[in-house]
């Protein structure tokens, strides 16, 4: 088993009822990861097979039997990569490429979770968050921030909006799926 995933699961067991778990990736050169906050992470969000490969998370079933994730990302390569990884793990995916279209897509698609890049054209991700939080039925949708920014100011601003985790690009698939699983658990029925 990957030692970093083992550390993540051990922290989750110890802090199952505490607000946040910080995991520091010791092999940053392997995947480009630095650190992650995964609030509400529960044991079993990411399961492993006997061979150690990640298995699909067990998401709650929505109206259509599959959960929908909206990816708001301006980089077409990153957007396609996230879409492929999410679809390979059983999620339906909706896409938006900029802040201007994001709210329209959120309102039309009503996703179960949003992956939001902060660096967007036509307004940044913070603008999308502020507008999203003002619309009652959309305000309850869990949002995971995914960004290339790793500075302390960005993290503080995200935390001040009541959001975590901040996933720093490039995002490891296991970490992404664990964060999505934890985020979906916070969504009201």
Burial of 9 (C-beta count, 10 Å sphere; 0-12/13-18/19+): buried
Q: Which CATH class is domain 3-57+64-185?
A: alpha beta
Strands 68-72 and 35-37: unpaired
* CA angle at 34 for the pair 81 and 99, rounded to the nearest 5°: 45
Listed residue (156, 111, 155) closest to 132, CA to CA: 111
**Domains of the chain by residue range:** 3-57+64-185
Question: What does the pLDDT look like over 5-45, one tens digit per residue?
Answer: 555 454 444 433 333 333 333 333 333 333 344 443 333 33
The whole-number pLDDT of residue 67 equals 95
Q: How confident is the model at residue 49 (pLDDT cuts 50, 70, 90)?
A: very low
Q: How confident is the model at residue 189 (pLDDT cuts 50, 70, 90)?
A: low
Cis peptide leading into 165, omega within 30 of 0?
yes
Work out the percent of the chain whose per-residue pLDDT is above 70. Answer: 65
Question: What does the pLDDT look like over 132-154, one tens digit per residue?
Answer: 888 888 888 999 999 888 788 88
End-to-end Cα spacing for the chain: 34
């Amino acid at each position: 088993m990957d030692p970093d995933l083992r550390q993540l699961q051990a922290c989750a067991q110890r802090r199952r009822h505490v607000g946040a778990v910080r995991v520091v990736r010791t092999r940053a050169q392997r995947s480009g990861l630095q650190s992650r906050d995964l609030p509400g992470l529960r044991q079993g969000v990411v399961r492993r097979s006997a061979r150690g490969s990640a298995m699909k998370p067990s998401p709650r079933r929505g109206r259509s039997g599959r959960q929908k994730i909206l990816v708001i990302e301006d980089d077409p390569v990153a957007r396609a990569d996230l879409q492929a990884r999410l679809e390979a793990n059983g999620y339906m995916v909706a896409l938006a490429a900029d802040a201007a279209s994001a709210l329209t897509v959120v309102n039309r698609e009503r996703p179960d979770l949003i992956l939001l890049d902060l660096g967007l054209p036509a307004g940044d991700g913070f603008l999308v968050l502020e507008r999203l939080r003002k619309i009652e039925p959309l305000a309850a949708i869990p949002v995971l921030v995914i960004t290339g920014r790793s500075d302390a100011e960005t993290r503080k601003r995200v935390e001040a909006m009541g959001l975590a985790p901040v996933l720093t690009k490039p995002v490891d698939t296991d970490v992404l799926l664990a964060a999505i699983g934890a985020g979906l658990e916070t969504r009201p029925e």
